[in-house]
Homo-oligomer: A and B are copies of this chain.
Amino acid sequence: MAEVRNKQVVLKNFVVGFPKESDMDIVEGTITLKVPEDSSDVLLKNLYLSCDPYMRLLMTKEEDLSLGVVTYTLHSPLTGNGVSEVVESRDPDYEKGDLVYGMTKWEEYSLIPSSQILFKIVHTDVPLSYYTGILGMPGLTAYGGFFDVSSPKKGDNVFVSAAAGAVGQLVGQFAKLSGCYVVGSAGSKEKVDLLKNKLGFDEAFNYKEEPDLNAALKRYFREGIDIYFENVGGKTLDTVLPNMRLHGRIPVCGMISQYNLTQPEGVTNLAHLIFKRVKMEGFNVNDFCHLFPKFLEFALPLIREGKVVYVEDIVEGLENAPAALVGLYTGANVGKQVVVVAHE
């Protein structure tokens, strides 16, 4: 039975503050390419791994997080969503050669319970890596968060933070498809150019070059904001609140600016939720899993017809995965951050 090398990215120590590459280790393990006979597990060859902001939370010591979620285990591979090829399966629903998307581990080969697979990839006329982004959890997050949580109407004024990210770039495009006016903020000139010239945002600005975010918001939203798609939290949220319009909606997708702070920034303008009767709602893609088939039906034709585009930041090799993940929190990535472990 073939025992092969199995390179892994493991957590070396729990993280306080911003994560560093040195918080992770590249370990050369081995694995037997065989599913134990008494299991219904699936052996996967991992192809594309997704770097997602929530992963930072799982790098925190469980007691410090006190969220009742299972954080990463020290000296074990990180987990995350990815696109993989089935090497062997003892679950009759999957067979060798199937391409699947779901929760896997940051290593070359993974033995996982088949229940962790979200779906078999059927449509391969689009880039496989898209299943970590526009056709995977980030896509469904944007779809559910925008259409379901924020109830957009034609003509709504939409503001998206972290707008060039995996989710933000889609929210902006979905907003345009819905007849909204949409402005995005991002952290570099390159990203702002992308938003305006490739992703179809009406306006975009580099928040790092705006000494007064409130003035920037007033410039782009003279009549206020109907939907603020929240990806960053903290001071940005605090500045947005007084700029919300009557009956505005704030779908809360993430607060990436806060995850690395030992003391999050205080938000002082929440009384504007009352003054403007604003709904602010946290959500999680897991609440939308039932929408996945409907979402793929919606998204695939848009991709094929070029009506929605997707910007990816693809890094080659598992050994470069720690740097790619760490880069999420400094905004180093331009578009969805993907790690290629192996080409199909």
A residues sitting closer than 8 Å to B (CB atoms) are: 66-67, 69, 233, 237, 242, 252-255, 258-259, 263-284, 287
Nearest chain B residue, comparing its CB with the CB of A224: B68
Q: Which chain B residues border A281 with CB–CB below 8 Å?
A: 273, 277-281
Distance in Å: Cβ of A245 to nearest Cβ of chain B: 11
Partner of A254, one of B258, B265, B274: B274
Main secondary structure of the interface of A (DSSP, over half): loop
Distance in Å: Cβ of A270 to nearest Cβ of chain B: 6
Tell me the bound Cα distance from A313 to B18 in angstroms.
Answer: 53
Distance in Å: Cβ of A291 to nearest Cβ of chain B: 15
Known: A66-B242, A266-B267. 18 other contacts (CB 8 A): A252-B274, A253-B274, A254-B274, A263-B268, A264-B269, A264-B270, A264-B271, A265-B268, A266-B266, A267-B268, A267-B270, A274-B282, A275-B282, A276-B282, A277-B284, A279-B280, A280-B280, A281-B281
29 examples of A-B residue contacts, CB within 8 angstroms? A67-B275, A69-B275, A233-B270, A237-B270, A253-B274, A254-B274, A255-B270, A255-B271, A255-B274, A264-B268, A265-B266, A265-B268, A266-B267, A267-B267, A267-B268, A267-B270, A273-B282, A274-B282, A274-B283, A276-B282, A277-B282, A277-B283, A277-B284, A278-B282, A279-B279, A279-B280, A279-B282, A280-B281, A281-B281
Q: Which chain B residues border A242 with CB–CB below 8 Å?
A: 66
Distance in Å: Cβ of A59 to nearest Cβ of chain B: 15
Partner of A252, one of B252, B269, B270, B282: B270
Nearest chain B residue, comparing its CB with the CB of A273: B282
Question: How many chain copies does the complex carry?
Answer: 2
4 tightest A-B CB contacts, nearest first: A266-B266, A273-B282, A274-B282, A264-B268
Nearest chain B residue, comparing its CB with the CB of A271: B255
Tell me the bound Cα distance from A264 to B273 in angstroms.
Answer: 14
Q: Which chain B residues border A254 with CB–CB below 8 Å?
A: 274
B287 and A277 within 8 A (CB): yes
Nearest chain B residue, comparing its CB with the CB of A244: B282
Known A242-B66, A278-B281: A252·B273 in contact at CB below 8 Å:
yes
Tell me the bound Cα distance from A272 to B233 in angstroms.
Answer: 12
Nearest chain B residue, comparing its CB with the CB of A54: B274
Partner of A271, one of B258, B272, B273, B280: B258
Tell me the bound Cα distance from A254 to B270 in angstroms.
Answer: 10
Q: Which chain B residues border A280 with CB–CB below 8 Å?
A: 273, 279-281
Tell me the bound Cα distance from A267 to B273 in angstroms.
Answer: 13
Tell me the bound Cα distance from A280 to B265 in angstroms.
Answer: 19
Distance in Å: Cβ of A233 to nearest Cβ of chain B: 6
Q: Which chain B residues border A264 with CB–CB below 8 Å?
A: 268-271
